[in-house]
């Protein structure tokens, strides 16, 4: 399959959000990556439903919504309908009954992902991997943009790739945190399918050209 680039809206200019959404629409990026934080599961707050609905109204590419929140089951239907998620990702660490949560997302007709924090082993997903469309490996500690990439992530990608093949799963591997021009080629070569890029795109002098380089 094609290797996918998902610019992270968390790094956009919120004073010019529609401009940045239109930039992604015009770019060679594949998805919008949207981080939702509750100030509880992670020490930060981010987008609420009014902003999400505004993004959805203008976005011309699929919305890859990453829930960094406790009790995600309470909000699944709203993220699937109001926010128009293409793929909805919850954290393994935030779900007491993960299989139930995964099935609830699937029942909404939305692709489902599960995220793992840097300290969590990929082996934790062995018994549910065949149910998933995507596994998101956090390559920084979740909650803030602009952090340095955790090198151990390369080992986790390789281990997850082997597990996916063993389980007969079709899940994509997504990497989020510290991804940029200095490591994107190695990440794809190691087995990543989707790269979430924030500061490396929005802080660059030419975001459209940076996306083009990352894509090709």
Q: How confident is the model at residue 121 (pLDDT cuts 50, 70, 90)?
A: very high
Per-residue pLDDT of 141-154, as tens digits, reads 886 666 789 999 99
pLDDT digits (tens, 9 = 90+) for 13-48: 989 999 999 999 999 999 999 999 988 888 888 878
How many C-beta atoms surround the C-beta of residue 133 within 10 A? 20
Contact 132, 169 (CB under 8 A): yes
> Who contacts 214 (Cβ-Cβ below 8 Å, separation ≥6)?
5, 181, 184, 195, 197, 200, 201
Helix (H) or strand (E) holding 104: helix 98-107
Using the predicted structure, report yes or no on whether residue 1 has a pLDDT greater than 60: no
Q: Identify the CA nearest to 25 among candidates 57, 54, 52, 58.
A: 58
| Confidence at residue 216, expressed as pLDDT on a 0 to 100 scale | 85
Q: What is the value of pTM for the model shown?
A: 0.95
Beta strands in the chain (DSSP E): 4-7, 32-37, 63-68, 87-91, 111-116, 134-138, 172-176, 194-197
| Average pLDDT of span 177-204 | 95
pLDDT at 127 over 70: yes
Cα–Cα distance list, 186 to 42, 73, 192 (Å): 28, 35, 9
Reference 194, options 209, 175, 216, 214; nearest CA is 175
Tell me which of 46-50, 77-81, 128-132, 188-192 is least confident. Answer: 46-50
The predicted pLDDT at position 202 comes to 95
SS3 142: coil
Section 116-132 average pLDDT = 96
Query: How confident is the model at residue 57, as a pLDDT?
Result: 92
- Superfamily of domain 4-215, CATH level 4: Aldolase class I (3.20.20.70)
Give the whole-angstrom CA distance, residue 71 versus residue 61. Answer: 27
Q: Which residues are tagged catalytic? A: 35, 176
């Amino acid at each position: 399959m094609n290797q996918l680039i998902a610019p992270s809206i968390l790094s956009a200019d919120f004073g010019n959000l529609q401009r940045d959404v239109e930039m992604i629409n015009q770019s060679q990026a594949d998805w919008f990556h949207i981080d939702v934080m509750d100030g509880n599961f992670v020490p930060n707050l981010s987008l609420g439903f009014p902003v999400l609905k505004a993004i959805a109204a203008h976005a011309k590419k699929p919305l890859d919504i990453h829930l960094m929140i406790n009790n995600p089951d309470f909000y699944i239907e709203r993220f699937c309908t109001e926010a128009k998620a293409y793929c909805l990702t919850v954290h393994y660490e935030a779900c007491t009954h993960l299989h139930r949560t995964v099935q609830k997302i699937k029942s909404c007709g939305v692709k489902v992902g599960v995220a793992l924090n840097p300290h969590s082993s990929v082996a934790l997903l062995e018994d549910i991997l065949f149910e998933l469309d995507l596994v998101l490996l956090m390559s920084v500690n979740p909650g803030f943009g602009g952090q340095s990439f955790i090198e151990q992530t390369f080992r986790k990608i390789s281990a997850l790739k082997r597990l996916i093949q063993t389980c007969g799963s079709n899940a994509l591997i997504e990497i989020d945190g510290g991804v940029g021009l200095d490591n994107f080629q190695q990440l794809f070569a190691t087995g990543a399918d989707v790269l979430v890029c924030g500061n490396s795109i929005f802080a660059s002098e030419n975001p459209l050209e940076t996306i083009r380089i990352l894509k090709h």
